[in-house]
């Protein structure tokens, strides 16, 4: 490649790597695999090595990726948190060893060695390269005082409150020492799988890998998010210690364990590079048995005086290097595609594979995510596919060997009916998921019942998630209507001395029979229909029978009712399962009609209110009900149609937008005057 072409490619690579670094470090939402990113960086580094005069300061080879997120205090690292140079074969490891020997041999400080050189005295420590977020922890007199992200290596983010939620970070050390250490926050393999399974059931976006889940958790302004995630940490370096002069890295790690730190469990002292290679290979063989994800092995000079002599570059230390394992891929047969129905009704296609061992695990099935994923990769039943494990945890189909097709392969189609209950399976415009809309589908019952009992729906006090799980597990209920058949003695058997709890729950279930009609409509869980729309439907149609007979065209006559909402309502009430459930609820005596209220005070008719900030005298829901009872409407966003913005304490962007549009802003005191 000539210099002109090299410059063009370097500019392209700088732009591409900067984009993906931002996705990885700042947004914790990567678009490509670590291996693909590493290959881009390797190409950039090699081109810059060949044409050093083309190196510029904006290249990621010259600085650490990552910035300080808005909302966090900046922390200047007294000792920079550098990154490591990556290598991908053992030849580069030998080259690193030769550079290290040469640098030490040419230094003036040789008197400690027997033969006048450092060559025969270089020992290396090999550690696992944990796939997480690098942080520094600062202790004063043995007490944890501050923690920060790496950021750009020189300046990071103060995430002390988030780090305090991690149980393996000691709040107080066993010795009253001033020390700063560096560690890696991560989420274990098992914990990551469980967390993603739960997110899938709740129809939340899945984390791409454990590293980004950990990083995203730590870089939240709300520390309760970090507290809710299974975060862990391993310490791997002393950054600064005022009172102890360690002579070796291994010595420092043993001391850290002694005073209470959770230190990287894989740390092996090696006398030479052949021993280093042997250990790297062993880590590679054992990596599937590790409880945490790794993306390589780190090789460090053990002697701290030698490290001082070797020094650092602008971005990386000269005394350490990271060996990156290539992702292992295997071919296997895609025998079939089956379906898994989640608690929200999302139907997920699953690949049934000829069992194949990948990265130490036998893979026989994996998710194919959705219909678009299958079409994008042109997967067919009977194909030979490529499998790899993402982040050493999740098996995934990464490609298909089309050249191996023989004509017997079958084109895949998503089902039109739910494979569990037979109800319609619908994919709405703009969505990737196909969903079962059957309200009595066994796969959906937990979520259906939980929503039905929720505060804004039927408000059945005492019927929480764990009780519902117990009812279902014991086959005490199988759908919503079964709640009204529960017996006092059955509920009481769930708890020690449970009679009082059982009586309270029975009373709350019976009270729910007389709820307002809109609560039942909201409780049925019609997709896209919340409290506000449920109130509109109840007001318009007065009873369940009239609503069941409404056409899409009829529903579209309701103000603010869009086509998607109208179609969703029509489809829901067209299902036999819906008709069956409603009849069962009728038989139980559930109120299914709107109580006629004579409202003579429509002082807010034609007005639209937007609420922002906290109110002293009312909850937001209570204030909205007052407005609606006076004939007004509420909205969640400010527009030119807004009549008033009711601004409480700590009002945010809605208040600013109202002021910019010239919308009338009222205080709670003024609102109280308006509703007298």
Tell me the catalytic residues: 129
- Separation CA 676–CA 674 (nearest Å): 6
CA quadruple 261, 267, 269, 275: dihedral, nearest 10 = 180
228: Cβ contacts below 8 Å, ≥ 6 apart: none
- Taking alpha carbons only, the member of 304, 298, 310 closest to residue 248 is 304
- 337: left (phi > 0), else alpha (psi -120 to 50), else beta? beta
427: DSSP letter: -
**Cα torsion 554, 557, 562, 563: sign:** positive
H-only helix segments in 409-551:
445-453, 465-473, 488-492, 499-511, 517-523, 531-541, 544-548
- Separation CA 28–CA 24 (nearest Å): 5
DSSP for 242-310, written as a single string: SS---SBHHHHHHHHHHTT--B-S-EEEESSHHHHHHHHHHHHHHGGGSSS-EEEEEEEE-BHHHHHHH
Instruction: Please say whether the beta carbons of 342 and 203 come within 8 A.
Output: yes
Q: Which run of H or of E encompasses 322?
A: strand 320-323
- Separation CA 96–CA 74 (nearest Å): 35
86: Cβ contacts below 8 Å, ≥ 6 apart: 38, 41, 42, 296, 321, 322, 323, 324
**Reduced to 3 states, what is the DSSP secondary structure of residue 398?**
strand
- Separation CA 334–CA 385 (nearest Å): 7
Q: Which tokens hold the place of 576? A: 């036999």
Give the C-alpha distances (Å, rounded to integers) separating 238 from 135, 252, 661. Answer: 12, 7, 55
Q: What is the side-by-side order of every strand in the sheet holding 320-323? A: 86-87, 320-323, 294-301, 124-130, 267-270
**Cα torsion 249, 254, 258, 263: sign:** positive
How many other β-carbons are positioned within 10 Å of the β-carbon of residue 666? 16
Strand 133-140, strand 143-149: pairing: antiparallel
Instruction: Please say whether the beta carbons of 417 and 360 come within 8 A.
Output: no
CA quadruple 364, 368, 371, 373: dihedral, nearest 10 = -130
**Start-to-end CA span in the chain (Å):** 81
CA quadruple 282, 286, 288, 289: dihedral, nearest 10 = -160
Q: Which tokens hold the place of 482? A: 């079964």
Instruction: Please say whether the beta carbons of 590 and 604 come within 8 A.
Output: no
**What's the half-sphere exposure (Cβ side, CA atoms, 13 Å) at 115?**
6
- Separation CA 400–CA 387 (nearest Å): 9
């Amino acid at each position: 490649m000539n210099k002109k072409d090299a410059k063009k490619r370097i500019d392209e690579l700088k732009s591409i790597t900067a984009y993906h670094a931002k996705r990885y470090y700042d947004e914790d939402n990567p678009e490509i695999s670590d291996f693909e990113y590493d290959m881009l960086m390797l190409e950039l580094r090699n081109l810059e090595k060949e044409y050093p005069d083309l190196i510029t300061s904006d290249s990621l080879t010259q600085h650490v990726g990552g910035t300080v997120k808005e909302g966090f205090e900046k922390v200047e690292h007294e000792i920079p948190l550098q990154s490591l140079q990556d290598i991908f074969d053992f030849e580069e490891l030998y080259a690193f060893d030769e550079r290290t020997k040469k640098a030490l041999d040419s230094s003036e400080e040789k008197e400690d060695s027997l033969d006048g050189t450092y060559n025969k005295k270089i020992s290396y420590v090999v550690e696992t390269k944990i796939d997480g977020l690098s942080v520094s922890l600062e202790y004063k007199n043995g007490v944890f005082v501050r923690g920060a992200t790496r950021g750009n290596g020189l300046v990071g983010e103060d995430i002390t409150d988030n780090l305090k939620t991690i149980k393996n970070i000691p709040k107080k050390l066993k010795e009253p020492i001033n020390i700063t250490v560096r560690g890696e926050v991560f989420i274990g393999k098992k914990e990551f799988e469980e967390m993603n399974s739960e997110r899938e059931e709740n129809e939340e976006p899945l984390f791409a890998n454990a590293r980004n889940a950990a990083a995203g958790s730590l870089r939240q302004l709300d520390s309760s998010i970090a507290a809710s995630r299974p975060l862990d940490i391993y310490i791997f370096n002393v950054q600064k210690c005022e009172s102890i002069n360690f002579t070796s890295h291994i010595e420092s790690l043993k001391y850290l364990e002694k005073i209470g730190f959770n230190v990287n469990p894989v740390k092996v002292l090696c006398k030479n590079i052949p021993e280093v290679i042997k250990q790297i290979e062993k880590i590679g063989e054992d990596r599937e048995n590790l409880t945490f994800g790794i993306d390589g092995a780190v090789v460090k000079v053990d002697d701290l005086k030698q490290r001082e002599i070797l020094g650092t570059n602008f971005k990386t230390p000269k005394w350490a290097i990271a060996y990156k394992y290539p992702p292992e891929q295997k071919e296997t047969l895609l025998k079939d595609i089956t379906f898994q129905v989640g608690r929200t009704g999302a139907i997920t296609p699953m690949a049934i594979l000829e069992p194949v061992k990948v990265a130490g695990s036998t893979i026989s099935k994996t998710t194919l995510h959705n219909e678009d994923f299958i079409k994008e990769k042109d997967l067919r039943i009977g194909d030979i596919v490529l499998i790899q494990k993402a982040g050493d945890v999740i098996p995934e189909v990464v490609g298909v060997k089309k050249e191996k097709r023989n004509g017997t392969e079958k084109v895949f189609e998503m089902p039109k009916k739910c494979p569990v209950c037979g109800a319609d399976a619908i994919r709405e415009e703009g969505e990737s998921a196909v969903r079962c809309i059957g309200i009595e589908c066994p796969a959906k019952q937990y979520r259906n019942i939980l929503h039905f009992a929720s505060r804004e729906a039927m408000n059945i006090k005492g019927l929480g998630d764990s009780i519902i799980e117990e009812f279902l597990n014991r086959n005490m209920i199988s759908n919503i209507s079964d709640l009204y058949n529960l017996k006092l003695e059955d509920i009481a058997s769930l708890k020690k001395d449970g009679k009082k709890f059982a009586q309270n729950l029975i009373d709350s279930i019976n009270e729910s029979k007389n709820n307002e009609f809109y609560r039942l409509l909201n409780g049925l869980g019609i997709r896209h229909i919340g409290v506000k729309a449920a109130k509109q439907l109840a007001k318009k149609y007065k009873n369940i029978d009239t609503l069941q007979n409404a056409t899409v065209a009829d529903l579209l006559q309701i103000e603010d009712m869009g086509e998607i909402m109208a179609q969703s309502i029509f489809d829901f009430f067209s299902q036999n399962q819906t008709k069956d459930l409603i009849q069962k609820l009728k038989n139980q005596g559930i109120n299914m009609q709107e109580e006629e209220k004579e409202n003579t005070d429509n002082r807010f008719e034609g007005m639209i209110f937007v609420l922002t900030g906290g109110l002293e005298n009312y909850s937001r829901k209570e204030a909205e009900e007052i407005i609606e009872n006076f004939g007004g409407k509420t909205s969640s966003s400010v527009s030119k149609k807004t009549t008033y913005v009711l601004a409480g304490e700590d009002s945010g962007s809605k208040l600013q937008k109202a002021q910019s549009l010239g919308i009338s802003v009222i205080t709670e005191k003024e609102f109280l005057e308006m509703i007298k």
